[in-house]
């Protein structure tokens, strides 16, 4: 199964979803603003991406710039910030065969299939 953490108002996320619909037989779409990942799920995503929590945050997002850009938080605290404010999570995230990528640019998604 392939899973995409999707945001329907993001053009990059929609492009990744279109690609996956054409190439994936078993696809699960999770609109992560409506269905926020659990803390365990977010930690698993970070492990698969091999990223620290701060690296998964959208630093150009208005909410980040207004409330969080000057903060120095622990990894645990950044995870909690993302769970409370999922709009800050980079998108789209695609998981296939235990591997994960942030689907920007689309070539990263394509690489999962090669």
For residues 59 and 69, the answer to whether their CB atoms sit within 8 Å is yes
The reply to whether 10 belongs to the active site is yes
Please pick, among 4, 10, 34, 71, the residue that the annotation labels catalytic: 10
Cα separation of 35 and 54, whole Å?
21
- H helix intervals, 1-114: 11-23, 39-49, 62-63, 75-84, 106-111
- Enzyme catalytic residues: 10
């Amino acid at each position: 199964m392939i899973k995409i953490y999707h945001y329907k108002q993001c053009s990059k996320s929609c492009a990744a979803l279109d690609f996956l619909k054409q190439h994936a037989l078993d696809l699960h779409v999770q609109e992560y603003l409506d269905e926020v990942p659990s803390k365990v799920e977010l930690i698993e995503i970070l492990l698969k991406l091999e990223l620290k929590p701060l690296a998964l945050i959208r630093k150009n997002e208005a909410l980040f710039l207004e409330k969080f850009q000057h903060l120095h938080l622990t990894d645990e605290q950044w995870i909690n910030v993302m769970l409370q404010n999922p709009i800050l999570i980079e998108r789209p995230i695609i998981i296939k065969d235990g591997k994960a990528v942030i689907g920007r640019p689309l070539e990263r998604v394509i690489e999962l299939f090669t």
